[in-house]
Structure 1
Amino acid sequence: MTAPRLRIAPSPTGYFHIGTARTALFNWLYARQQGGTFVLRIEDTDRARNRDEHIAGIEAALRWLGLDWDEGPYFQSQRGGLYASAIEKLLADGKAYACDCTPEDVQARAKARGDKTPGYDGFCRDRGLEATSGRVVRLRTPDEGESAYDDLVYGRVAKPMVNVLDLAIRKSNGDPLFLLANVVDDADMAISHVVRGSDHMDNTHSYLLIWEALGYGPRPVFAHLPLINNDAGKKLSKRRDKVAVEDYRDAGYLPEAVRNYLALLGWAPGDDREILTVEQMVAEFRLEDVKRAPATFDERKMQSVNAEYLRALPVEVFVERAQGWLRDRWAPLGAEVQERARTLGEAVAMADFLFLPEPHMDEKEWAKEVAKQPALAAILDGAIARYPEVEWTADALKDATAAVGEEAGVAQLGKAQAPIRLAVSGRRVGPPLFESLAVLGLDRTLARLRSARARLEP
């Protein structure tokens, strides 16, 4: 048997999700255990949402967790010729067809049929349209039989073909869609094991149809991992939960502790151990032992694991790593704080809100802001709504705050940002706000804005 080849294929459209990190870890553990290859592939076909800083963030997060890759990073944006050739082959073989239906067309036909669960109905299958610019290309799916595959975690997974819709594989602008590029890349890179989240289980049927239509031969082995819920039993959401690996890095967690905790989300060794070295994980990990039930992410439990790791450090190593963490946190604002501080004590006080779980609110300043700023609630609400949608950089946050102020009827940026500064730092003066927000991170910023907003409730 040849050594297995596995991959992690994140999209650079946001921060590195804790669920993606768990998936990367499980791929990495299996590859290391079996003497295989771990491939990093960046799925950057969504040109409107891709960001270079998110690519850098993916690589930095993987390195921080100790998940070194053997090949890559490969970029889908540089592999367009492969996808175009695959689509041309499918069209030439009659296994794909052009479609000019708009979403409104599809919905209107579904409404006319009284279909309450509408999907694409194959309207353009036999119209013989040319695959010109402005038209989608769809895979022709069989109407009879069933699609089935064996999953290392969930066993046999089957679905009637009549319920597998004609999937779009090329956008109207000519760009490949996710699943087509995914299949072509896996075949071209000889990926032997596809280990990913269980939210992909259903589209694996379409994956296999594309695979077989392109004549790629023996299919990969599939292992779908259970989704990760928060401690309330709901799927982790970036709007509600702290989901970015960077947030835990910036909060002072040890990477080896986070890696250890992630390994326990859906898998466990054959006894009651919770603290495992990476060598133990590599030796004992089995994809077949991954549980089907959703895993629960409990930050308090991860804190407990992190505390175990901290206590195990030699004192000199603990001090060195604590100093390194402080240095990294101070670096982005060091020059600004240096310009404003008169003593080292003042310098620490100016930026302490970056390190504290909650800021120490200056109640007198808060009362003044409530009294003089009638748009206070509107500004906080606007920031809470707008900030999750913007690129998390100082410039983008400045523009977003200006827009929030205008919507609230506050034209001057200084007046619009004052309530936000107070909410996140507890004071009206301090380091530059937008650089501070960039360091603080989205999740902690939103939590503080919501806490300040709650103060206004009767």
Structure 2
Amino acid sequence: VPPVMKDEQHKLSKRNGDASFQDLLAKGYLPEAVINYLALLGWSPETEQEIYTMDELIEHFDVKRISRSPAIFDIDKLTWMNGMYLRAMDLETYHETILPWLKPALKNPDLDTMEIAKILQPRIDKLSDIPEAVDFFNHLMDHALEMYRHKKMKSTPELALKALKEARSVIEGIDDADWTEETVHEKLLDLPKKMGLKNGQVLWPVRTAVTGKQFTPGGAIEIVNILGKEESLRRIDRGIARLEEALAGEDLSA
């Protein structure tokens, strides 16, 4: 049986710091994904299929198709496969799977973890990515005001300030009893039409104001819904105040 290599010259070796099966699980990989990936190292099925259940592996495995050449362990391929496994789960299973990683990462126990799971599932490839992906729920991330300038979204700091003020009014006007993702979605998506703007010219500033991050799981609507009315308004007020101060002094580097 050929060895598994870390590159063309070196074998995988725990002594040299290469990950064991347990190490991979601790890094947020699923046991099923690791087994699936390892089964394909040095063995090739007769078809192009890459995702296998254990029963399928047992059925299709043939020792005659084991390669005589060493196989190189590709962590990027394993990460891709792990993401495929996560996205294939039904939402309930996914939610239960990520809770041991998600709950310790959230400081506010009142946040709806199921709603957070919905926005994480299409975007997270391994469980250890979760803490960094959700850190903005704990506090508004430090960010330069230049983030409000987005060429693709056709957003500028001046336009962002106008959009944030209008969005603030819309969010404040949603009754607490009516606060749902559907309501937030309807109200915020009506705003660009009323302002004569594109969706991104309104939603990008809102997402920037409530997260402070360039990349987040979920967009402005989902995040505002999860944060809730009070916290969303507090963060938007902060964004408005910073933009007003910076534009008055023409300093967007802060």
TM-score interval, normalised by the smaller of the two chains: 0.3 to 0.5
TM-score (norm 1): 0.27
- Which of 1 and 2 has greater Rg? 1
Structure with higher strand content: 1
TM-score (norm 2): 0.46
Higher normalized contact order (CA 8 Å, seq sep 6+, divided by chain length): 2
Structure with higher helix content: 2
